[in-house]
Amino acid sequence: MLSKSQARTFFLGGTVLSFAVFIGLSWNTLSKEVPKNTHEENLSPQVISGKHLWEKNNCMGCHTILGEGAYYAPELTKVYERRGEGYIKAALMSKTPWSPRGRKMVAYGFTEQEANDLTAFLKWIGETDLNGFPAKPKYQTTINQSK
């Protein structure tokens, strides 16, 4: 059994060691891993402008991106990969509200430049290394393979 002073020393030593490990791992993540995984060298003025449009129009009020946001509308982290530039721009530049699969999308009627900026932002987000998030669905074939 530990005496009071030994228990205090054990507790303080464990706390200091845990804190040092936490600081070391945080420093490693922020200084090395985040820039490598996000490809911050690809941050162009167009991507930054798209991010500002994303925030200004409260897209997170309906959509999720990188797992954050509302769950009313589709997750957009990999939308550029799934749908492509043409589909995204058509949705953003639409002058009339549309409702794919029953969910109503506001008609923002973005200009072509704004749509290009937001598309560049979504493309940049889709190219970040997310360690497998979101998982790609495993589709089953419905083709009859019997002979």
Question: Which pLDDT band holds residue 116 (cuts at 50, 70, 90)?
Answer: very high
> CA–CA separation, 122 vs 14, rounded Å?
44
> CA–CA separation, 88 vs 78, rounded Å?
12
- Residue 69, SS3 per DSSP: strand
48-85 tens-digit pLDDT: 999 999 999 999 999 999 889 998 888 898 899 989 99
Question: Which pLDDT band holds residue 33 (cuts at 50, 70, 90)?
Answer: confident
| Chain CA centroid to CA 85, Å | 18
Helix (H) or strand (E) holding 68: strand 68-69
With 0-12 / 13-18 / 19 or more C-beta atoms within 10 angstroms meaning exposed / middle / buried, residue 89 is middle
> CA–CA separation, 3 vs 14, rounded Å?
16
Model pTM score: 0.71
CA-closest candidate to residue 52, choices 127, 133, 110, 97: 110
Q: Are 97 and 107 a contacting pair, CB within 8 Å? A: yes
> CA–CA separation, 73 vs 60, rounded Å?
9
Helix (H) or strand (E) holding 107: none
